[in-house]
Amino acid sequence: MIPYRLHETPLGTLRLCAENGALIGAHFVGQEHDFVLDAGFVELPDDALLRTAGEQIDAYFNRHRRSFELPLAPRGTAFQRAVWDTLASIACGQTLSYGELALRVGKPGGVRAVAAAVGRNPLSIIIPCHRIVGRDGSMTGYAGGIERKTALLAIESRG
């Protein structure tokens, strides 16, 4: 059983999912790479972890929180998890290019592979893939939509 909770944000509804006491998903409903709900998913709006995640997300949107303190267990390959761990180390309000991220991950020639891993990030906002921009600072790629990416960066710049 995978409990989930729908959580309203200023940028749309997030589906928060957990398993074994850790978050495995935070997707805007309908975004690219969202979980496909099957019989294994059960809506549990009062789940303590999912409620705490929602409270921290609200604090982020209200500019009272710049990082998250939640147990995370994103599902992915070792390479994807390495990219996601590196994403998590980018400070709120900062951005990196895909090339800079590839260097930090130790794959300077692997920009496309790094970009693909960024795009598969299952924990939107919490693992800040929105902080990755094009080489020239342009808004490129975000599974939740460029408008949301721009809005998230604006929230952080006003921090």
**Catalytic positions, please?**
129
CA dihedral 125, 154, 118, 98 (to 10 degrees): -150
Q: Chain centroid to CA 44: how far? A: 21
Query: CA-CA distance, 156 to 151, in Å (whole number)?
Result: 9
The number of beta carbons lying within 10 Å of the beta carbon of residue 12 is 14
Q: Write down the number of H helices and E strands in the chain.
A: 5, 6
Tokens of residue 158, six digits: 């006003």
The number of beta carbons lying within 10 Å of the beta carbon of residue 106 is 9
Query: CA-CA distance, 142 to 148, in Å (whole number)?
Result: 8
Give all strands of the β-sheet with 2-9 in edge-to-edge order: 22-28, 12-19, 2-9, 41-43
